[in-house]
Structure 1
């Protein structure tokens, strides 16, 4: 059985994951309309992955006797200034999500909810991978700079990238 403080924190994380999915979906839509299809496909996949993170939390809360809540979220932006801006925003967002997850893990320890603490370790590991990949993509974009040929190749390569963000 979940204690109320943990249930509330997990519901907040459900909202964070839902907002992440929508944020990346908005980025994907923008990229697609800009003709950057590799970036768009990568971001569509990432949006789906964030939704799965949310669903995993929803199921956990419900299985543990709590009640998962799906809150309304803020509308994400529909325009972005550049591919570099998109991935800088993505990286910063992933760092913010990592902070939220770490705070939730800390709460689990303070509440002595070792079951939820154990469950959340998957998210901790996932965030390490997501931040590393986002940082790697940013590094590549910094190497490319304003080279349109480099951006073309980056876009094509990103479409085939199978790693997680």
Structure 2
């Protein structure tokens, strides 16, 4: 690591390194949720959560690209184990909502840290993530509400996800991901 790189490291940059781990943990958890739905023969929900996992991976790599562009070495962390056993279809969706709410808190802290340090580039970088988290939390709240209404009829939930949540997201304005988005 060059001395220039080392002097540029700030609290904000350290939190970004932590957030890479958080995003990979979220990816891992979404894979566990997706495989649970896959095993339950709910292919629409499974596909939705596999896609969410890729999105979380892309978020981690967007942060990696930002750090690389700032000439800061990227640390690749280990990840935590994921919960992979659930008693019903609402449980993994509730877990996903809680996960998105936690990630929102983490992103808010990142934006706050950048602002407090006067890192205007970092603050601007975080704006897309703040907007993204509003959408993610709202989507998971809706999905959980529909799962509760569908009760034991998972076909209604599958139909809802297929009809209302399967259109591709508009990624315009998204930061670039190191290695490209998948």
The 5-angstrom pairing of residues 125-140 of structure 1 reads 125-140=131-146
Confirm whether residue 44 of structure 1 aligns to residue 47 of structure 2: no
Q: Structure 1 runs of 4+ off > 3 angstroms?
A: none
Give 1:154's aligned residue.
157
Looking at structure 1, the residues matched to 43 and 159 of structure 2 have their Cα atoms a distance apart, in angstroms, of 8
Structure 1: gaps (5+ residues): none
Once the two structures are TM-superposed, the CA of residue 112 in structure 1 deviates from its matched residue by 0.5
> Helix, strand or coil: the match of 1:123?
helix
Offset, 1:90: 0.5
The residue aligned with 1:54 is 60
2:20 match = 14
TM-score normalised per structure 1: 0.92
TM-fit CA distance, 1:80: 1.6
Residue 67 of structure 1: how far off its partner (Å): 1.2
| Structure-1 separation of matches of 2:80 and 2:98 | 18
Give CA-to-partner distance per residue, 1:19-50, whole Å, 9 cap, x none. 00010001101110111111100000000111
TM-score, normalising length from structure 2?
A: 0.84
- Give how far 1:153 is off: 2.3
Q: Using the alignment, how far apart are the partners of 1:31 and 1:162 within structure 2?
A: 16
Instruction: Look up the SS of the partner of 1:96 in the other structure.
Output: helix
Structure 1 match to 2:175: none
Looking at secondary structure, tell me which structure has more helix per residue.
1
1:103 and 2:106 correspond: no
**Alignment match, 1:121:** 127
Structure 2 counterpart of 1:27, from 6, 27, 33: 33
